[in-house]
A = this chain, B = another copy of it.
Amino acid sequence: METALERLLPNPEHAPQTLHAAMRYSVLEGGKRVRPLLAFAAGELVNADPARVEIAACAVELIHAYSLVHDDLPCMDNDVLRRGKPTCHVQFDQATALLVGDSLQSLAFELLASPSLTDSPARQLEMIKLLAVASGSRGMAGGQAFDLASVGQALTLPELEFMHIHKTGALIRASVLLGAHCGDTLDETALTQLDRYAKCVGLAFQVVDDVLDAEAPTATLGKTAGKDAADNKPTYVSLLGVTRAREMAHELHHDALAALDGFKQSQHLRELADFILQRQF
Protein backbone atom coordinates (compact mmCIF):
# COMPACT_ATOMS: atom_id res chain seq x y z
CA MET A 1 0.00 0.00 0.00
CA GLU A 2 2.76 2.43 0.91
CA THR A 3 4.50 1.82 -2.42
CA ALA A 4 1.26 2.06 -4.36
CA LEU A 5 0.18 5.29 -2.67
CA GLU A 6 3.66 6.73 -3.06
CA ARG A 7 3.53 6.03 -6.80
CA LEU A 8 0.11 7.44 -7.52
CA LEU A 9 0.36 10.67 -5.52
CA PRO A 10 1.52 13.66 -7.59
CA ASN A 11 5.24 14.34 -7.75
CA PRO A 12 6.13 17.03 -5.18
CA GLU A 13 8.53 18.58 -7.67
CA HIS A 14 5.63 19.39 -9.98
CA ALA A 15 3.67 22.63 -9.51
CA PRO A 16 1.87 23.42 -7.29
CA GLN A 17 4.71 22.02 -5.18
CA THR A 18 3.36 22.88 -1.73
CA LEU A 19 -0.02 21.31 -2.44
CA HIS A 20 1.61 18.16 -3.77
CA ALA A 21 3.98 17.96 -0.80
CA ALA A 22 1.04 18.43 1.58
CA MET A 23 -0.98 15.72 -0.17
CA ARG A 24 1.89 13.28 0.29
CA TYR A 25 2.40 14.38 3.90
CA SER A 26 -1.25 13.65 4.65
CA VAL A 27 -1.39 10.22 3.04
CA LEU A 28 2.05 8.62 3.40
CA GLU A 29 3.91 7.36 6.47
CA GLY A 30 1.13 6.61 8.84
CA GLY A 31 -2.27 5.11 9.31
CA LYS A 32 -3.26 1.55 10.00
CA ARG A 33 -4.55 1.09 6.42
CA VAL A 34 -7.53 -0.81 7.80
CA ARG A 35 -9.71 0.05 4.80
CA PRO A 36 -7.17 -1.18 2.22
CA LEU A 37 -6.65 -4.36 4.26
CA LEU A 38 -10.41 -4.95 4.24
CA ALA A 39 -10.50 -4.45 0.47
CA PHE A 40 -7.65 -6.95 -0.06
CA ALA A 41 -9.24 -9.49 2.29
CA ALA A 42 -12.61 -9.15 0.51
CA GLY A 43 -10.81 -9.49 -2.82
CA GLU A 44 -9.51 -12.89 -1.68
CA LEU A 45 -13.08 -14.16 -1.34
CA VAL A 46 -13.61 -13.63 -5.06
CA ASN A 47 -10.16 -14.58 -6.38
CA ALA A 48 -9.45 -10.99 -7.37
CA ASP A 49 -6.13 -9.97 -8.90
CA PRO A 50 -4.32 -8.09 -6.08
CA ALA A 51 -3.06 -5.53 -8.61
CA ARG A 52 -6.68 -4.60 -9.26
CA VAL A 53 -7.72 -4.59 -5.64
CA GLU A 54 -4.79 -2.28 -4.97
CA ILE A 55 -6.37 0.42 -7.16
CA ALA A 56 -9.68 0.21 -5.31
CA ALA A 57 -7.87 0.09 -1.95
CA CYS A 58 -5.88 3.22 -2.77
CA ALA A 59 -9.06 5.06 -3.83
CA VAL A 60 -10.74 4.28 -0.51
CA GLU A 61 -7.64 5.23 1.46
CA LEU A 62 -7.45 8.58 -0.36
CA ILE A 63 -11.07 9.32 0.58
CA HIS A 64 -10.29 8.37 4.17
CA ALA A 65 -7.16 10.56 4.21
CA TYR A 66 -9.06 13.52 2.77
CA SER A 67 -11.74 13.16 5.45
CA LEU A 68 -9.12 13.19 8.21
CA VAL A 69 -7.46 16.33 6.84
CA HIS A 70 -10.79 18.17 6.67
CA ASP A 71 -12.00 16.74 9.98
CA ASP A 72 -8.90 18.05 11.78
CA LEU A 73 -9.44 21.64 10.59
CA PRO A 74 -10.17 24.27 13.26
CA CYS A 75 -13.76 24.70 12.07
CA MET A 76 -14.34 20.96 12.57
CA ASP A 77 -12.54 18.98 15.30
CA ASN A 78 -9.64 21.43 15.60
CA ASP A 79 -7.06 18.73 16.20
CA VAL A 80 -3.32 19.27 16.05
CA LEU A 81 -2.01 15.70 16.13
CA ARG A 82 -2.75 12.85 13.71
CA ARG A 83 -0.88 9.60 13.24
CA GLY A 84 1.76 10.97 15.62
CA LYS A 85 2.48 14.00 13.42
CA PRO A 86 1.20 17.59 13.33
CA THR A 87 -2.06 17.71 11.36
CA CYS A 88 -1.92 19.03 7.80
CA HIS A 89 -3.19 22.52 8.60
CA VAL A 90 -0.64 22.82 11.43
CA GLN A 91 2.26 21.59 9.29
CA PHE A 92 1.17 23.71 6.28
CA ASP A 93 -1.82 26.04 6.64
CA GLN A 94 -5.60 25.82 6.61
CA ALA A 95 -6.05 26.83 2.98
CA THR A 96 -3.56 24.18 1.89
CA ALA A 97 -5.28 21.56 4.06
CA LEU A 98 -8.62 22.46 2.49
CA LEU A 99 -7.19 21.99 -1.01
CA VAL A 100 -5.37 18.80 0.01
CA GLY A 101 -8.68 17.24 1.00
CA ASP A 102 -10.41 18.46 -2.14
CA SER A 103 -7.61 17.16 -4.37
CA LEU A 104 -7.39 13.77 -2.65
CA GLN A 105 -11.09 13.26 -3.26
CA SER A 106 -10.71 14.04 -6.97
CA LEU A 107 -7.72 11.72 -7.16
CA ALA A 108 -9.73 8.87 -5.64
CA PHE A 109 -12.31 9.07 -8.42
CA GLU A 110 -9.62 9.49 -11.06
CA LEU A 111 -8.12 6.21 -9.83
CA LEU A 112 -11.42 4.32 -9.89
CA ALA A 113 -11.89 5.43 -13.50
CA SER A 114 -8.59 3.79 -14.45
CA PRO A 115 -8.95 1.32 -17.37
CA SER A 116 -6.75 -1.21 -15.55
CA LEU A 117 -9.19 -1.65 -12.65
CA THR A 118 -11.59 -4.19 -14.22
CA ASP A 119 -12.54 -5.82 -17.52
CA SER A 120 -16.05 -4.50 -17.12
CA PRO A 121 -16.48 -0.75 -17.44
CA ALA A 122 -20.15 -1.11 -16.47
CA ARG A 123 -19.21 -2.78 -13.19
CA GLN A 124 -16.57 -0.11 -12.67
CA LEU A 125 -19.22 2.61 -12.96
CA GLU A 126 -21.13 0.81 -10.19
CA MET A 127 -17.98 0.88 -8.06
CA ILE A 128 -17.58 4.63 -8.64
CA LYS A 129 -21.19 5.21 -7.69
CA LEU A 130 -20.73 3.06 -4.58
CA LEU A 131 -17.73 5.09 -3.41
CA ALA A 132 -19.39 8.40 -4.27
CA VAL A 133 -22.52 7.57 -2.27
CA ALA A 134 -20.44 6.25 0.64
CA SER A 135 -18.41 9.49 0.68
CA GLY A 136 -21.16 12.06 0.24
CA SER A 137 -24.02 13.56 2.21
CA ARG A 138 -25.80 10.21 2.59
CA GLY A 139 -22.55 8.60 3.71
CA MET A 140 -19.38 9.78 5.40
CA ALA A 141 -19.84 13.56 5.01
CA GLY A 142 -23.44 13.22 6.18
CA GLY A 143 -22.24 11.37 9.26
CA GLN A 144 -19.81 14.16 10.01
CA ALA A 145 -22.60 16.72 9.70
CA PHE A 146 -24.70 14.67 12.10
CA ASP A 147 -21.70 14.45 14.43
CA LEU A 148 -21.27 18.24 14.43
CA ALA A 149 -24.94 18.78 15.13
CA SER A 150 -24.79 16.35 18.05
CA VAL A 151 -22.02 18.01 20.09
CA GLY A 152 -23.44 18.75 23.54
CA GLN A 153 -26.66 16.85 22.69
CA ALA A 154 -27.92 13.82 24.55
CA LEU A 155 -28.09 11.25 21.74
CA THR A 156 -29.94 7.98 22.06
CA LEU A 157 -28.11 4.77 21.20
CA PRO A 158 -29.93 4.47 17.81
CA GLU A 159 -28.95 8.07 16.99
CA LEU A 160 -25.32 7.40 17.88
CA GLU A 161 -25.44 4.28 15.72
CA PHE A 162 -26.99 6.24 12.83
CA MET A 163 -24.14 8.73 13.06
CA HIS A 164 -21.39 6.11 13.05
CA ILE A 165 -22.97 3.95 10.37
CA HIS A 166 -22.56 7.02 8.19
CA LYS A 167 -19.42 8.68 9.52
CA THR A 168 -17.08 5.68 9.55
CA GLY A 169 -19.30 2.74 8.62
CA ALA A 170 -20.11 3.86 5.08
CA LEU A 171 -16.48 3.92 3.96
CA ILE A 172 -15.61 0.66 5.72
CA ARG A 173 -18.51 -1.02 3.94
CA ALA A 174 -17.37 0.53 0.67
CA SER A 175 -13.87 -0.90 1.25
CA VAL A 176 -15.19 -4.44 1.62
CA LEU A 177 -17.64 -4.17 -1.27
CA LEU A 178 -15.13 -2.54 -3.63
CA GLY A 179 -12.66 -5.32 -2.92
CA ALA A 180 -15.41 -7.87 -3.59
CA HIS A 181 -16.21 -6.18 -6.93
CA CYS A 182 -12.68 -6.76 -8.21
CA GLY A 183 -13.08 -10.49 -8.85
CA ASP A 184 -15.72 -13.18 -9.51
CA THR A 185 -19.29 -11.95 -9.29
CA LEU A 186 -21.09 -12.62 -6.00
CA ASP A 187 -24.85 -13.19 -5.82
CA GLU A 188 -27.14 -10.85 -3.87
CA THR A 189 -27.24 -13.11 -0.80
CA ALA A 190 -23.46 -13.26 -0.56
CA LEU A 191 -23.18 -9.49 -1.03
CA THR A 192 -25.74 -8.93 1.74
CA GLN A 193 -23.77 -11.20 4.09
CA LEU A 194 -20.55 -9.42 3.23
CA ASP A 195 -22.22 -6.08 3.82
CA ARG A 196 -23.42 -7.35 7.21
CA TYR A 197 -19.84 -8.31 8.10
CA ALA A 198 -18.67 -4.84 7.07
CA LYS A 199 -21.40 -3.09 9.03
CA CYS A 200 -20.53 -5.00 12.22
CA VAL A 201 -16.81 -4.44 11.76
CA GLY A 202 -17.39 -0.74 11.11
CA LEU A 203 -19.42 -0.28 14.28
CA ALA A 204 -17.00 -2.40 16.33
CA PHE A 205 -14.20 -0.19 15.05
CA GLN A 206 -16.02 2.88 16.36
CA VAL A 207 -16.89 1.37 19.73
CA VAL A 208 -13.23 0.38 20.19
CA ASP A 209 -12.19 3.88 19.13
CA ASP A 210 -14.41 5.38 21.80
CA VAL A 211 -13.00 3.08 24.47
CA LEU A 212 -9.44 3.86 23.34
CA ASP A 213 -10.15 7.58 23.36
CA ALA A 214 -11.41 7.31 26.92
CA GLU A 215 -8.58 5.09 28.21
CA ALA A 216 -5.37 5.15 26.17
CA PRO A 217 -2.60 7.76 26.54
CA THR A 218 -1.99 10.19 23.65
CA ALA A 219 1.40 8.67 22.84
CA THR A 220 -0.21 5.28 22.12
CA LEU A 221 -3.08 6.72 20.10
CA GLY A 222 -1.01 9.01 17.90
CA LYS A 223 -3.77 11.56 18.31
CA THR A 224 -5.02 13.67 21.19
CA ALA A 225 -6.59 11.40 23.83
CA GLY A 226 -9.70 12.22 25.86
CA LYS A 227 -10.71 14.71 23.19
CA ASP A 228 -14.24 13.43 22.71
CA ALA A 229 -15.05 13.84 26.38
CA ALA A 230 -13.38 17.26 26.47
CA ASP A 231 -15.44 18.30 23.44
CA ASN A 232 -18.57 16.97 25.16
CA LYS A 233 -19.20 14.57 22.25
CA PRO A 234 -21.55 11.65 22.74
CA THR A 235 -19.69 8.30 22.50
CA TYR A 236 -20.47 4.67 23.23
CA VAL A 237 -18.52 5.12 26.45
CA SER A 238 -20.45 8.21 27.56
CA LEU A 239 -23.73 6.49 26.68
CA LEU A 240 -23.04 2.96 27.92
CA GLY A 241 -19.99 3.14 30.18
CA VAL A 242 -16.70 1.38 29.42
CA THR A 243 -17.81 -2.10 30.52
CA ARG A 244 -20.93 -2.24 28.36
CA ALA A 245 -19.09 -0.65 25.45
CA ARG A 246 -16.47 -3.41 25.61
CA GLU A 247 -19.22 -6.04 25.65
CA MET A 248 -20.84 -4.41 22.66
CA ALA A 249 -17.56 -4.57 20.73
CA HIS A 250 -17.33 -8.30 21.50
CA GLU A 251 -20.92 -8.88 20.31
CA LEU A 252 -20.28 -7.02 17.07
CA HIS A 253 -17.10 -9.03 16.55
CA HIS A 254 -19.11 -12.24 17.00
CA ASP A 255 -21.79 -11.08 14.53
CA ALA A 256 -19.13 -10.09 11.99
CA LEU A 257 -17.60 -13.58 12.07
CA ALA A 258 -21.02 -15.23 11.88
CA ALA A 259 -21.81 -13.27 8.70
CA LEU A 260 -18.78 -14.93 7.04
CA ASP A 261 -20.00 -18.48 7.68
CA GLY A 262 -20.98 -19.21 4.09
CA PHE A 263 -17.64 -18.08 2.60
CA LYS A 264 -14.45 -19.92 1.79
CA GLN A 265 -11.18 -17.97 1.82
CA SER A 266 -12.48 -15.66 4.54
CA GLN A 267 -9.46 -16.12 6.79
CA HIS A 268 -8.11 -12.60 6.35
CA LEU A 269 -11.50 -10.97 6.85
CA ARG A 270 -11.78 -12.94 10.12
CA GLU A 271 -8.31 -11.87 11.20
CA LEU A 272 -9.16 -8.25 10.48
CA ALA A 273 -12.26 -8.47 12.66
CA ASP A 274 -9.99 -9.86 15.40
CA PHE A 275 -7.44 -7.12 14.84
CA ILE A 276 -10.06 -4.37 15.10
CA LEU A 277 -11.29 -5.78 18.39
CA GLN A 278 -7.83 -6.43 19.78
CA ARG A 279 -6.57 -2.94 19.21
CA GLN A 280 -7.30 -2.72 22.95
CA PHE A 281 -8.58 -5.80 24.69
Q: A: which residues have CB within 8 A of B? A: 10, 14-16, 18-20, 23, 66-67, 70, 73, 75-76, 93-96, 98-99, 101-103, 105-107, 109-110, 112-115, 120-122, 124-126, 128-129, 131-133, 135-139, 141-142, 144-146, 148-149, 162
Shortest Cβ gap from A11 to chain B (Å): 10
Complex-state Cα separation, A218 to B101, whole angstroms:
31
Can you name 25 A-B residue pairings with CB atoms under 8 Å? A16-B137, A16-B145, A16-B149, A18-B149, A19-B137, A19-B141, A20-B137, A70-B98, A75-B95, A76-B95, A98-B98, A101-B102, A102-B102, A102-B141, A103-B137, A106-B132, A106-B139, A106-B141, A109-B109, A109-B132, A110-B133, A114-B129, A120-B121, A121-B124, A124-B125
- Which residue, of A66, A115, A129, has the highest number of chain B Cβ atoms within 10 A? A129
Closest 3 CB pairs of A and B: A106-B136, A121-B121, A75-B94
- A135 to chain B: which residues have CB within 8 Å? 102, 106
Number of copies: 2
Please determine whether B136 and A125 come into contact, CB atoms closer than 8 angstroms.
no
Q: Identify the closest chain B residue to A136 (Cβ).
A: B106
Please determine whether A75 and B102 come into contact, CB atoms closer than 8 angstroms.
no
Please determine whether B133 and A103 come into contact, CB atoms closer than 8 angstroms.
no
Please determine whether B103 and A75 come into contact, CB atoms closer than 8 angstroms.
no
- A94 to chain B: which residues have CB within 8 Å? 75
Shortest Cβ gap from A59 to chain B (Å): 11
Among B10, B19, B106, B122, which residue has its beta carbon within 8 angstroms of that of A105? B106
Please determine whether B142 and A16 come into contact, CB atoms closer than 8 angstroms.
yes
- A103 to chain B: which residues have CB within 8 Å? 136-137, 141-142
Complex-state Cα separation, A15 to B280, whole angstroms:
33
Please determine whether B70 and A146 come into contact, CB atoms closer than 8 angstroms.
no
- A70 to chain B: which residues have CB within 8 Å? 98-99, 102
Complex-state Cα separation, A129 to B138, whole angstroms:
23
- Which residue, of A76, A96, A102, has the highest number of chain B Cβ atoms within 10 A? A102
Please determine whether A10 and B106 come into contact, CB atoms closer than 8 angstroms.
no
User: 5 other contacts beyond A106-B141, A113-B128, with CB at 8 A cut-off?
Assistant: A105-B105, A106-B135, A107-B132, A113-B126, A115-B125
- A138 to chain B: which residues have CB within 8 Å? 10, 14
Please determine whether B102 and A105 come into contact, CB atoms closer than 8 angstroms.
yes
Please determine whether B95 and A137 come into contact, CB atoms closer than 8 angstroms.
no
- A137 to chain B: which residues have CB within 8 Å? 10, 16, 19-20, 23, 99, 103, 106-107
